[in-house]
Structure 1
């Protein structure tokens, strides 16, 4: 389906595809999507007046119960036919309050950061690889891989496991192609019950919108087959975690030329000096950046080096290299860089904003990342890592949030947001968005880690 540009394009698609209802949605700070179902005959009002939500009820969007409604003004470019539900379409909007853009809106934050890059002549483009697992519960209420036969110790690319999910996976692939996203591969990943569908690149806003719809689509179709599709970073201790890899590049705003491509790269990675500057920027801000792209307590159970009992393919050190999956930044294809740190437990809008802001700081300061690293960082001795001056990624959400609060570049990128008075009344005060975000994440950290688990009981009850 060709991407619509205007409301008139949307009306034409509604008529051509006999659309009866439209989900009008937005995402809050932690990545949760909220929506209202709007009859298609209300399309004019939908795009001119928007649709209202009680923001406080929807999630973290900078509102209290006393706050006025948020209004969602849909973007016609996000209009998509829902392939598996006849007569249904989906559209994503920006959050406004009393007719003005709402500074807490993740989509608006990304648009603002993209505008800054475009003023310098750059368009930020990404593709994503979203890993997910198909799971359900057994009779005792314990989480398990949905396919009981998917239990091999090395299941990656297993043709039999992929065949058992053939109908679901081929439907997803077809729908991705129908949506115009050019799916080029589907595979069974390294984890039992784990799959990945690759989606080609577009500009950052379009890719974030695609990611939100993709997550909704995978969830919905898995439920049709009696399964749960989880993007949780680490649902099982002894199974590989789920990543959401970013493949990034900067393009010329006028010529649409990939500015990261340099086939004469003296380092042999086909990456331009601009690309290396961008890499260096992300490495420079990696600790605070991680709070946005690995945004839950569970994220840091995925960001661990592999052992005999805990499988993983994720970075643990702040490094870059060539086609080496133990590096944070992997350059495996010409003219693009892949960050293997992110997962899909939060907002892609905020994650993309952090990546662009960090990378552009490297561009503006002409930072050099040094020579690529070619070690296996999972087995390299600690003494050697220390000798080379390699720094490690944060070990917990609390640690990454601490570094986020200290990162002036990211503080500026995410901007200021309004705050209410001490009793919820309007005020002229503002605070940094990252401070608001950090409070949410500290509360989440304590909500999870303050609970005494059965594992702690078994380990510490009679100790020492």
Structure 2
């Protein structure tokens, strides 16, 4: 049995325990070091990220409703867990562990619903690339198909992989609804049905786990790196967002224009645009994420505006009743992104923020004609500064989570700027005389 939880970067962590101990673990939980919520990685100075070796141990309690037998290994099952502080701790013993991104999302969503009467339903568009493997089994940087967007022939090249992903996804509760070949080598998008935010986050995590297993079986590498190739599209993970009151979609238009959401939708969009720069740090969370924005000719959303079916803006009304948040990529931790979007939308609702009229023009043309539009950060370092300055989005990272996230991502950024790359060598090795 895999007792699993999700780290600050979206990795699946946990323990494997023989099934005969299920009743004991379900009642008492398992223990693991706090630092596992930060992948148990060390920073550039050799310090453990988030928690040192002297830190206490967390307790993971399984959420029994998430129990699922793995369809590729019927002798093994998985269950997601909620994390707590150790019961014997002097301060907050037995309390929720605030570096548990999955538990945080549940609590933030519950508070949002209590305050607004609304809940978030979300769907994701998990683009990724299927790469060839080298003779030694390591991944190459070569896609298994040609970069032809929406071509059924290229989709068919990946059909054996697609069938296996759908077989496993269906067995693990994903309602697979559609898919297509995107416009990078080996790039595939397979979609499953939207649902409440925390369920969609669990399913995206499950989908990634499935893809990695299918890659093992099919001699392919499932790549979720945002931008492994320049000159072709990156791997996005657009979030399709709506707010509901019971079974009523409150994003539906309430006027004569079917392209414009109702007041709740407009204020929610206003909140997201208000906080987009800080949100980008969470939804585009790696150094590599910003290569996607630099290669802006490939529909990368870099301006804080919105419009109906307008792919040049950061937010797009993709259909009446929902909007597509586009400044998010395949490396996103969905528990963090949904929590952050909830906080931004809550701010928009409480302050009645007006997003302005929808932009119908290509945003680049609009800017050329004089429109003043805020740009999202150009680097992870700039995004970290935006997050530090935004108390609303920071509130989506409560307690230890903000400290752990900032330690991890600041170290990532500083390791990058402290690295001499191939570009540096090629550009400057023969710089003088």
- The answer to whether the superposition gives a TM-score over 0.5 is yes
Q: CA deviation at 1:166?
A: 0.8
Q: Which of 22, 43, 60 matches 1:72?
A: 60
Of 208-217 and 75-84, the range deviating more from structure 2 = 75-84
Structure 1 CA distance, aligned partners of 2:16 and 2:409? Answer: 31
Counterpart in the other structure of 2:76: 88
**3-state SS in 1 of match to 2:129:** strand
Counterpart in the other structure of 1:126: 122
Counterpart in the other structure of 1:31: 10
User: What is the alpha-carbon root mean square deviation over aligned residues?
Assistant: 2.1
The 8 Å contact of residues 138 and 144 in structure 1, kept in 2 or not, is answered as no
**3-state SS in 1 of match to 2:176:** coil
Structure 2 CA distance, aligned partners of 1:340 and 1:129? Answer: 10
Counterpart in the other structure of 1:398: 381
Instruction: Verify: 1:414 aligned to 2:397, yes or no.
Output: yes
Q: Which runs of 5+ in 2 are unaligned?
A: 42-48, 87-93
Counterpart in the other structure of 1:235: 228
**3-state SS in 2 of match to 1:370:** coil
Q: Which of 231, 239, 243 matches 1:246?
A: 239
Counterpart in the other structure of 1:259: 250
Q: CA deviation at 1:118?
A: 1.3
Counterpart in the other structure of 1:442: 410
Counterpart in the other structure of 1:175: 168
Q: CA deviation at 1:344?
A: 2.8
The 8 Å contact of residues 146 and 227 in structure 1, kept in 2 or not, is answered as no
The 8 Å contact of residues 251 and 321 in structure 2, kept in 1 or not, is answered as yes
Structure 2 CA distance, aligned partners of 1:288 and 1:454? Answer: 30
Structure 2 CA distance, aligned partners of 1:439 and 1:56? Answer: 12
Structure 2 CA distance, aligned partners of 1:411 and 1:163? Answer: 44
Counterpart in the other structure of 1:18: none
Query: Which one has more relative contact order, counting CA pairs under 8 Å at least 6 apart?
Result: 2
Structure 1 CA distance, aligned partners of 2:82 and 2:132? Answer: 34
Instruction: Verify: 1:145 aligned to 2:165, yes or no.
Output: no
Counterpart in the other structure of 2:28: 49
Counterpart in the other structure of 2:89: none
The 8 Å contact of residues 242 and 321 in structure 2, kept in 1 or not, is answered as yes
Give the alignment of 1:237-386 within 5 angstroms: 237-252=230-245, 255-262=246-253, 264-269=254-259, 271-307=261-297, 312-377=298-363, 379-380=364-365, 383-384=368-369
The 8 Å contact of residues 122 and 250 in structure 1, kept in 2 or not, is answered as yes
The 8 Å contact of residues 405 and 435 in structure 1, kept in 2 or not, is answered as no
- Name segments (4+ residues, structure 1) moved above 6 Å: 139-142
Q: Which of 365, 368, 372 matches 1:389?
A: 372
Q: CA deviation at 1:139?
A: 6.8
Structure 2 CA distance, aligned partners of 1:200 and 1:164? Answer: 24
Instruction: Verify: 1:106 aligned to 2:88, yes or no.
Output: no
Q: Which runs of 5+ in 1 are unaligned?
A: 1-21, 418-432
Counterpart in the other structure of 2:154: 161
Q: CA deviation at 1:29?
A: 1.1
The 8 Å contact of residues 245 and 342 in structure 1, kept in 2 or not, is answered as yes
Q: Which of 62, 65, 69 matches 2:50?
A: 62
Q: CA deviation at 1:267?
A: 4.2
Question: Could you report, residue by residue, the CA deviation over 1:331-351 in whole angstroms, capped at 9, with x for unpaired residues?
Answer: 111211111111132421111
Instruction: Verify: 1:191 aligned to 2:191, yes or no.
Output: no
Question: Could you report, residue by residue, the CA deviation over 1:255-291 in whole angstroms, capped at 9, with x for unpaired residues?
Answer: 32111112x4344315211011111100000001111
Q: CA deviation at 1:158?
A: 1.7
The 8 Å contact of residues 50 and 403 in structure 2, kept in 1 or not, is answered as no
Structure 1 CA distance, aligned partners of 2:346 and 2:366? Answer: 33
Structure 2 CA distance, aligned partners of 1:347 and 1:118? Answer: 22
Structure 1 CA distance, aligned partners of 2:346 and 2:237? Answer: 21
The 8 Å contact of residues 231 and 295 in structure 2, kept in 1 or not, is answered as no
Q: CA deviation at 1:354?
A: 0.5
Pairs aligned (count): 414
Q: 1:337 to 1:224 in 2, by over 3 A?
A: same
The TM-score normalised by the length of structure 2 is 0.90
Counterpart in the other structure of 1:5: none
Structure 2 CA distance, aligned partners of 1:313 and 1:42? Answer: 50
